[in-house]
Structure 1
């Protein structure tokens, strides 16, 4: 089991770095500048992702009376914006792909700095009956190093060596997708008894509700066209697993119960967001990658 955890941790590091490197290779300075210049959109997205969704996680966990491990996993996920599948949901729903991708990488970058303080504040305020305290400084440094540095390298390559960036992006995206599946499978298989135990609890429902309500919050707290607003909903509904996995490794010693709950909540949240995006796609005739 110790060897499995070491391998899983190594693959997790690769997943986080590859995801942000691929995001940097895909991002452009004009697209990021466009999102930053749209003050209403940026302000609403920050409120939705940095404040509303973490509070939703807290509220859902308290309402359903989740056990500590599932509650911790739910709060960690809710506090971590900018999941890479957010940009993919923009494509699935035929939404504003450019704005979705730019917002996703921006939230992931900012989230590497805000994740630890947000999760720590919610867990302390929730008083779930167990002592929980994330080492904010160490976690911020770890997540920032794993996310911001690869993203910056990718962005610089896209800026100054665009042909290289375009040729490298498919491979980086493939590594990100494959390692994500390996990490998810490893969490499920390595903690299968804890995952099975969740079927008798409300953890799966909590993840599903978080996905639906985060989608709604991201859509309502957005400006622009309907395509852009629902794209922001998709970005808000899919959270970033990287910081949550780093937190479990640093603060909880890779506890099987928390890892199992995290895997189950991630899957149920994605199961909530995908059908909504597919339904939106069926109502739209053609992709609009640059809707205002």
Structure 2
């Protein structure tokens, strides 16, 4: 069991680092500057992802009366912006991929700092987690090292050696995808009893509703053409699993009930976000055919 636990932690670290390294390799300074100079869009997206969506998670958990483990999982996820699949869903829906990728990276970077304090406040306000408070400095250090350093390295490589970055990016992206699936599988297999126990409860439905509402709010709190706004919706709906996983390990000792709930909520939320992106993609493809 100890070996499996160490393996799971190692794969989780690889997932977080590879995801941020791939994001850095795929980012450019002009794209980041374009996002940072669009002040209205920037303020609205930060408001949506750092304030509104975390409060939404708290509201959904309270509305559905979730048990403690599921509430902790949902609050951790809601507090963690910048999920790497947000930008990818922008591609799936034929949205504004450049803005989506740049904003996802920015949110992941900022979220590495804001996640700990936000989750700590929500856990205390919701009175869940058995009174356990997150060690904010340790969590900030862990998340910052695992996310900001790989992203910075990738960005430097992209800026000074673009050909190398483009050749490395597919490998880093595949590593991110594979390890993400491995992390989800590890959470499900290692905590399948807790996941099965959630079937028939409101936890899975709460994760789905949270994702749909986060997409709606993220789309509403954005500017620009519909493709850009719905891309911002996808970015808001898909949260960053890395900090949440780090928090479960640091604050809850990889408690099986919390890990199982985290896997279930992540899967149900991701399923909802993928479905929305697929519907948007079909509508836009149909619109293009009609125009042609």
* Residue 154 (structure 1) aligns with: 154
CA distances 1:104-135 after superposition (whole Å, capped 9, x unpaired): 01000100000000000011111237212000
- Structure 2: 5+ residue stretches without partners: none
* Residue 230 (structure 1) aligns with: 230
* Residue 89 (structure 2) aligns with: 89
* Residue 128 (structure 1) aligns with: 128
Say which SS state the counterpart of residue 66 (structure 2) adopts. Answer: coil
For 1:78 and 1:253, the matched residues in 2 are separated by 20
Aligned residues: 288
CA distances 1:158-200 after superposition (whole Å, capped 9, x unpaired): 0000000000001101111111111100000000000000003
Q: How far apart are residue 285 of structure 1 and its match?
A: 3.4
* Residue 216 (structure 1) aligns with: 216
Distance 1:11 1:127, change over 3 A: same
Which ranges of 4 or more aligned residues in structure 1 deviate by more than 3 Å? 285-288
Say which SS state the counterpart of residue 283 (structure 1) adopts. Answer: helix
CA distances 1:192-250 after superposition (whole Å, capped 9, x unpaired): 00000000321101110111000000000000111100000000000000000000011
TM-score (norm 1): 0.97
For 1:216 and 1:247, the matched residues in 2 are separated by 27
* Residue 244 (structure 1) aligns with: 244
* Residue 192 (structure 1) aligns with: 192
Query: Contact between 2:69 and 2:129, CA under 8 Å: does it hold in 1?
Result: no
Q: Give 1:105-184 correspondences, 5 Å limit.
A: 105-128=105-128, 130-184=130-184
Query: Contact between 1:94 and 1:286, CA under 8 Å: does it hold in 2?
Result: no
Say which SS state the counterpart of residue 133 (structure 1) adopts. Answer: coil
TM-score (norm 2): 0.97
Query: Contact between 2:15 and 2:176, CA under 8 Å: does it hold in 1?
Result: yes
Distance 1:161 1:287, change over 3 A: farther
For 2:123 and 2:146, the matched residues in 1 are separated by 24
